[in-house]
Amino acid sequence: MERVQLAEDLSFSRVIHGLWRLNEWNHAPEDTLDLIEYCLELGITTFDHADIYGGFLNEELFGKGLALKPELRNKMELVTKCGIVFPSPRRPQYKSHHYNTSKKHIIESVEHSLKNLHTDFIDTLLIHRPDPFMDPAQVAEAFTELKQEGKVRYFGVSNFKQHQFNMLQSYLDFDLITNQIEVSAYELENFDDGTINLCQEKGIAPMAWSPLAGGRIFSSEDEKAKRLRAALTKVAEELHADGIDQVLYAWLLVHPANIMPIVGSGKKDRIKKATEAVHLNLSLDQWFEILHASMGHEVP
Amino acid sequence: MERVQLAEDLSFSRVIHGLWRLNEWNHAPEDTLDLIEYCLELGITTFDHADIYGGFLNEELFGKGLALKPELRNKMELVTKCGIVFPSPRRPQYKSHHYNTSKKHIIESVEHSLKNLHTDFIDTLLIHRPDPFMDPAQVAEAFTELKQEGKVRYFGVSNFKQHQFNMLQSYLDFDLITNQIEVSAYELENFDDGTINLCQEKGIAPMAWSPLAGGRIFSSEDEKAKRLRAALTKVAEELHADGIDQVLYAWLLVHPANIMPIVGSGKKDRIKKATEAVHLNLSLDQWFEILHASMGHEVP
Amino acid sequence: MERVQLAEDLSFSRVIHGLWRLNEWNHAPEDTLDLIEYCLELGITTFDHADIYGGFLNEELFGKGLALKPELRNKMELVTKCGIVFPSPRRPQYKSHHYNTSKKHIIESVEHSLKNLHTDFIDTLLIHRPDPFMDPAQVAEAFTELKQEGKVRYFGVSNFKQHQFNMLQSYLDFDLITNQIEVSAYELENFDDGTINLCQEKGIAPMAWSPLAGGRIFSSEDEKAKRLRAALTKVAEELHADGIDQVLYAWLLVHPANIMPIVGSGKKDRIKKATEAVHLNLSLDQWFEILHASMGHEVP
């Protein structure tokens, strides 16, 4: 599978696997290991986590699978996030739902992630959400310390708009290497508001969460979803694609911004279909036909 | 007529003539030549085109006029645009309406424009619309090649917001020299959203399309148009202007951003009236009275 | 009281006193002097003016108080603003309400302010509102001249969005040192749209006008005000604060952007309460509880 170079000594697989729902799959550690190995065989080497996924559980579930075959660690890139807290039996110290991007919290969260993931280092740490209470100087101190100690190799953000990205970047001595954003043919906001343009300007590849719009396209009866289903079905037929989800992945993959979609499924056939989408060459006509269906009108 | 310096060896006339509707005027080449010469006599030396105007016809109609007196070419600046495609008998290769800012398309479009306009070079080429599928690296390659070959002297954009402008500029080794935007006393969006501020920050003069708001101000019965007509009529009387269209041009011309309005009329008296607007010195009171009428309230 | 360093040789008190309503307090010069001395005793050394406050009267009222004890001038920082005009018996030359950021107007306005405030220099001059007709080159000329003549030490803006700030800054040889913006737990726009982020990026501390939302939080029956009152009352009890206004000040004061709230009251007890708010240490849980009440939902 194609890879995306994010730094001199870091690349991600073009399609990324996301562990957001790992706790829902009722996996024994052996099952998790099996899924990891299946992804690696397909060329998916990048795994996306967050401290909070599964109520602070999923990193640990993944780590238990990886612990069965620790030599796989060097064949993968681990991404995780921090900065959100909420009450949970696993984090009794958190009293309410809010953000926390203090130096102390970032470092403690990474320590948890390292332990839970059974690893000595995180390949890329992301600030999960733009924090209205962020002190960028504290984030910079935390990042610098974690980098110097070898605990985190690279840093990025998630769901940041331009001004939030630029503010944090201005406090750092090294480049943020990605912005993980919600983007799909259904959710165009980051195309419209300059978030993707800023990634292109900075030369960084965005990670895309909910590339299938959380399933809304498949089942929702809103007008946008209906228009999109029709356009996607037409293009799927034209390209002999294996379902409209493949076209949704391909719609992101052919975009010049090097968007890396995150596949959040635990089912092997669905993961495989996503990886095969890299071979679907949508024409410009088809790309815009899908865009127009989403917007409800043509471009001016 | 006053001129606006856009680069060391390029200036535009403060008022620009636009050929958007040339195909509607039923001009023989001799009529087009006559119009060109009339504009040049008035000091309007800059002519605004786009490959798509008139369904891919207008550049050719203009070129046929210019071909009758080729020595006029060096007395004018030709601006044209590319990046939009739609089905047309003149471009059977385009199957649907979409944008195309690929290197291949930009270069092919310029070749068409050169041939149709009967010229060896374009003074300024604009990307017509911000393309959500833009690969700025490809645009930069196309621009660089066209510049090196002497086919296009300078480059700009049209309808770009700040983030789109900054993204494309960051890929270029030379400065974009203009942004052609919709702006008038009726359409204030580019004043509000920072587009004009960015032009001022970069020191580039914007071209204004629809400076008369496409005629809406004259005939529309919406509240904004009615308020504006009243304010414009009052100011026209105070200044002894020749109609409210002159005040609309003057409202743009007195603004410090060096806005260059595009006059899209084929009628000589209307073109002349526009050029005379440069002598109408609106006061700050009058400028804001018109702004307030457009906004429906005073500034805070 | 804590101070905020805005330049090598300029700092403001963390809490600022605003003279917006001075004309409503029916103060004799002796009363004004008394208020000034009270503020200075509390550590409030920064006083916020604008030429237009009180219908072009308040600077003069303040100046008459200061004139009774001119030696206090060197114990305080005077901030004033210019750029808005409107008809007033005190300024018969202004015919209508509009902005004026021409070089001539800025310099004339400062001359008025110097005379009215009984001082030889302004510590910081702000452009009061972003002017759609601004010529940043003229503003830069005016600022440079005023600085060279020692009439104004430093410059800033008020109510500027990112693009307006960046445009003006790009024309200056020195840094704008503040942006005075409307911000409170009730008015979150400047948190959302990047205005505060830009201050953090540039390393400048914003001044906050209407930190109590103009009293709306205390009396308004809109849902946002009701939600906020409830959350503020709860936090005030938890912190043993002296009223919800203290919590409102503290909500701004604990934010890492070094926000400097402007207290606009003429009543000593209210001014004192504001200064005491610097000691209220809201927890992150409390800060976000108030934010959530204002937004009407939790952060994602």
ipTM entry: 0.96
Helix (H, G, I), strand (E, B) or coil at B126: strand
Give the β-pairing of B207-209 and B179-182. Answer: parallel
Q: Is C167 close to B191, i.e. CB distance below 8 A?
A: no
Lowest mean pLDDT among A36-45, C209-218, C289-298: C209-218
Q: Which residues pair with C98 in a beta bridge?
A: C85
Dihedral over Cα of A234, A235, A239, A245: its sign = negative
> Does the CB of B200 have a partner CB in chain C at under 8 Å?
yes
Residues 6+ apart with CB under 8 A from C10: C77, C123, C124, C153, C154, C177
pLDDT at residue C297, rounded to an integer: 98
Domain ranges of chain C: 3-177
- Smallest CA–CA separation between A167 and chain C, in Å? 5
Dist. CA B142–CA B103, nearest whole Å: 5
- Residues of A whose CB is below 8 A from C258: none
Residue A215, pLDDT > 90, answer: no
Residue numbers of B between 259 and 288 with CB closer than 8 Å to C: 284-285, 287-288
A154 pLDDT band (50/70/90 cuts)?
very high
Query: Are residues C170 and B201 in contact, defined by beta-carbon separation less than 8 angstroms?
Result: yes
Q: Domain A3-177: which topology?
A: TIM Barrel (3.20.20)
Question: What is the average pLDDT score of chain C?
Answer: 97
pLDDT at residue A121, rounded to an integer: 98
Q: Is B96 close to A289, i.e. CB distance below 8 A?
A: yes
B246: Cα separation from own chain's centroid: 18
Query: Are residues B42 and B272 in contact, defined by beta-carbon separation less than 8 angstroms?
Result: yes
* A29-42 and A58-67 helices, crossing angle to 10°: 80
Per-residue pLDDT averaged across A253-267, rounded? 98
B182 pLDDT band (50/70/90 cuts)?
very high
Q: Is B167 close to A285, i.e. CB distance below 8 A?
A: no
**C37-66 residue pLDDT tens:** 999 999 999 999 999 999 999 999 999 999
- Residues of A whose CB is below 8 A from B170: 201
Is A53 annotated in the active site?
Answer: yes
Q: Any idea which residue has 């070898």 for tokens?
A: A150
C215 pLDDT band (50/70/90 cuts)?
confident
A neighbour chains, 3+ CB pairs within 8 Å: B, C
Q: Is A299 close to B97, i.e. CB distance below 8 A?
A: yes
**B125-179 residue pLDDT tens:** 999 999 999 999 999 999 999 999 999 999 999 999 999 999 999 999 999 999 9
B286 pLDDT band (50/70/90 cuts)?
very high
Q: How many interchain CB pairs under 8 A, A with B?
A: 54
Query: Are residues A22 and A59 in contact, defined by beta-carbon separation less than 8 angstroms?
Result: no
C230: Cα separation from own chain's centroid: 27
Q: Is A129 close to C299, i.e. CB distance below 8 A?
A: yes
Per-residue pLDDT averaged across C223-239, rounded? 97
User: Could you tell me how many residues make up chain B?
Assistant: 300
Cα nearest neighbour of A93 on chain C: C285
Residue B215, pLDDT > 90, answer: no
Catalytic residue among B53, B99, B154, B186: B53
